[in-house]
Amino acid sequence: MLSPEQRAVLELRVVRGLTAEQAASALGSTAAAVRLLQHHALDALRNAITREGTRE
């Protein structure tokens, strides 16, 4: 469902509470890339939850 990069971004941003800049530094990336990965990861999770809810 999520790529390893998306999982890492969500862990750093949501679980650990880092800013995009701090997460980017930890991942060797840019803040813009972190925000984009987070956006795509949350979309993927939202879609998975929505699909799961329609199967019940």
Residue-range domain boundaries for the chain:
4-55
Among the CATH numbers 1.10.357.20, 2.40.110.10, 3.30.1700.10, 1.10.10.10, which is that of 4-55?
Answer: 1.10.10.10
Helices 31-55 and 20-27: crossing angle in degrees, nearest 10, is 100
| DSSP assignment letter at 18 | -
Cβ atoms within 10 Å of 47's Cβ, excluding its own: 11
Mean pLDDT of 2-28: 98
In terms of pLDDT, which residue wins out, 42 or 55?
Answer: 42
The mean per-residue pLDDT over the stretch 15-40 comes to: 98
Condensed to tens digits (0 to 9), the pLDDT of residues 29-53 reads 999 999 999 999 999 999 999 987 7
Q: Look at residue 3 in the predicted model and tell me its pLDDT.
A: 96
pTM, 2 dp? 0.86
